[in-house]
Amino acid sequence: MKRLRKIAERTIEFIFSLSGATTSVITLLITLFLFSEGWSLFKAPAVEEGYALYVHTQNRVSALSIKQTKQIFDGEVTNWKELGGEGGEIQIFRVDDIFALHSEEELGSNYELLPQKLAEYIANTPNVLAFLPKKYMLEGGSLFYEVSTGSIHPKDFFLATEWMPTATPAPLYGALPLVLGTLLVSFVAILLALPLGLGVAIYLSELAHERTRKILKPAIELLAGIPSVVYGFWGLVVLVPWIQRLFNLPVGETAFTGSIILAIMALPTIISVAQDALSNTPISVREASLALGATSWQTIYKVVVPYAKSGLSAAVVLGIGRAVGETMAVLMVTGNAAVMPSSLFESVRTIPATIVAELGEVPMGSTHYQALFLLGCILFVFTLIISVSAEFISKRQHRTSL
């Protein structure tokens, strides 16, 4: 009987060990896959994949940055002299423009003459900047050459301020508006949720009657089980029009609206963790404070709250984690505009909302696909910092209680 019990214990121990090892390996592989896919963006060409920019051989401009390319195609730069060339108005040419110059018969039934016609046009247009598919360009053309645009640089992702993944010829993957939008909405949400959450936690732990506590605590914890899309729908139908009327705004989908929704969603986490921290304060500490003549309220804010400050900090950190990673509710009420946030009452876009909105329609392996994975890496780092902070604070609380 003892032998069978030992075998059973060892079997269970082996299963638990195997489960832990498997989970750790899977987590590591997922993390490596996430970062490998995201970091591949910096090996991708700056110009749309399969395309290139071509100029006449007499043109001295042999390289263009992503910013310069955008300025040219946006009409902000119109002369080659502004780019270090000899001068002359830049003539932008796309592959579709060739069909306005030649009939289908001149291009061939299977467009076999298209490369020759494209080469002829570039050769006869010294100031041209042609954005063309590489597969239609003649090899080793002596009258034109490919402009060097390099690959996407980390500063073009982390420090750029425009997120336009469908822009041509050079997609723009500036993640700074998304990062700042995420931080803004999450920070304001915590500012709104923190006083209310700590106040409710203090009330439930120190002031509420036992019967009231038994009713309110399950009701508050029930809020955590409501799907985020329900919060988003409620915010879209009720909160957005109310914010629009209250502040006389053109639209109600703003960063402030998203912050309110996130604050409501973070409240159950903050209240539960904070109440547990306050409840763990020893009775002897409370009694000692009261015995010295302190009132109940003085005992709460001068003894109980300072004693539980590590647990309260953990509640705040976990609340931030809840806010940073939220997706659907924020996507529905913030306006989903990838612009640099300048006000709480303007539309913004967050990192999770961007990933959800765009990943389903992105070709696998494209630069857009890699950019979204790199956004996931940023979100992963945010979440990791929050988790490590919560773990550190919890351990500090445990040492303090000992």
DSSP codes of every residue in 162-198: -EETT-SSS-EE--HHHHHHHHHHHHHHHHHHHHHHH
The CATH architecture annotation of domain 175-399 reads: Orthogonal Bundle (1.10)
Q: How far is CA 159 from CA 73, 99, 126, 180, 373, in A?
A: 21, 39, 35, 11, 17
What is the band of 399 on the pLDDT scale with cuts at 50, 70, 90? low
pLDDT at 108: 85
What is the band of 397 on the pLDDT scale with cuts at 50, 70, 90? low
Mean pLDDT of 261-279: 88
Distance (Å, rounded) from C-alpha 155 to C-alpha 42? Answer: 10
User: What is the average pLDDT score of the chain?
Assistant: 87
Assess whether pLDDT exceeds 60 at residue 140. Answer: no
pLDDT at 388: 81
pLDDT at 73: 92
pLDDT at 7: 82
Assess whether pLDDT exceeds 70 at residue 402. Answer: no
Find all residues with CB under 8 Å of 316, minimum gap 6, and list them: 190, 194, 270
Assess whether pLDDT exceeds 80 at residue 357. Answer: yes
pLDDT at 94: 92
CATH 3.40.190.10, domain 51-150, yes or no: yes
Assess whether pLDDT exceeds 80 at residue 106. Answer: yes
The predicted-structure confidence for 320-353, as pLDDT tens digits, reads as follows 887 787 878 888 899 888 889 988 999 999 999 8
Mean pLDDT of 81-110: 88
Assess whether pLDDT exceeds 70 at residue 299. Answer: yes
Query: Which two tokens mark 279?
Result: 């409840």
Q: Which residue's structure tokens are 């700074």?
A: 176
User: In this structure, which amino acid lies at residue 293?
Assistant: G
Mean pLDDT of 361-389: 89
What is the band of 141 on the pLDDT scale with cuts at 50, 70, 90? low
Nearest to 329 by CA among 249, 257, 251, 380: 257
pLDDT at 8: 82
Mean pLDDT of 283-302: 83
Mean pLDDT of 301-327: 81
What is the band of 272 on the pLDDT scale with cuts at 50, 70, 90? confident
- 227 backbone dihedrals φ, ψ, rounded to 5°: -60, 145
Give the SS3 label for residue 100.
helix
pLDDT at 400: 55
Give yes or no for a contact between 333 and 259, defined as CB atoms under 8 angstroms apart: no
What is the band of 260 on the pLDDT scale with cuts at 50, 70, 90? very high
Query: Which two tokens mark 346?
Result: 């303007």
Quote the distance between the C-alpha of residue 336 and its chain's center.
12
The predicted-structure confidence for 26-82, as pLDDT tens digits, reads as follows 989 998 998 999 999 999 999 988 899 999 988 889 899 998 999 999 999 999 999
Nearest to 189 by CA among 264, 274, 82: 264
Assess whether pLDDT exceeds 90 at residue 282. Answer: no
Assess whether pLDDT exceeds 80 at residue 3. Answer: no
Give the SS3 label for residue 79.
strand
What is the band of 240 on the pLDDT scale with cuts at 50, 70, 90? very high
**Pick from 53-57, 185-189, 192-196, 293-297: least confident:** 293-297
Tally of helices (H runs) and strands (E runs) in the chain:
18, 6
- The domain segmentation of the chain, as residue ranges, is 51-150, 175-399
User: In this structure, which amino acid lies at residue 222?
Assistant: L
Mean pLDDT of 101-128: 88
Whole-structure pTM value: 0.86
